[in-house]
Amino acid sequence: MQKLKIGVLASGSGSNLQAIIDEARAGTLPAEVVLVISDKPDAYALTRAEEAGIITAVVEPKDFATREEYDAKIVKLLQLSGADTVALAGYLRIVTPTLLDAFPGRVLNIHPALLPAFPGLHAQRQAWEHGVKVSGCTVHFVDAGLDSGPIILQAPVPVLEDDEADTLAARILEQEHIIYPLALRLLAEGKLTVKGRRVLISD
Pairing status of strand 198-201 against strand 192-195 = antiparallel
Mapped onto helix, strand or coil, the DSSP state of residue 139 is strand
CA distance 153 to 192: 11
Q: Does 140 engage in binding with ligand GAR (CB under 6 A)?
A: no
Q: Does 15 engage in binding with ligand GAR (CB under 6 A)?
A: yes
Residue number with CB closer to ligand GAR (34 or 45): 45
Residue number with CB closer to ligand GAR (102 or 155): 155
Residue number with CB closer to ligand GAR (70 or 189): 70
Among 7, 8, 9, 14, binds ligand GAR (CB under 6 A): 14
Smallest distance, Å, CB 62 to ligand GAR? 21
Q: Does 33 engage in binding with ligand GAR (CB under 6 A)?
A: no
Three-state SS for 39-79 is CCCCCHHHHHHHHCCCCEEECCHHHCCCHHHHHHHHHHHHH
Contact 181, 29 (CB under 8 A): yes
Amino acid type, 63: D
Q: Does 16 engage in binding with ligand GAR (CB under 6 A)?
A: yes
User: Which residues does the annotation mark as catalytic?
Assistant: 111
Could you give the residue ranges of the DSSP H alpha helices within 62-199?
Answer: 67-81, 97-102, 123-130, 165-188
Among 12, 30, 105, 150, binds ligand GAR (CB under 6 A): 12
Binding site for ligand GAR (CB under 6 A): 10, 12-16, 45, 89-90, 110-112, 123, 173, 176
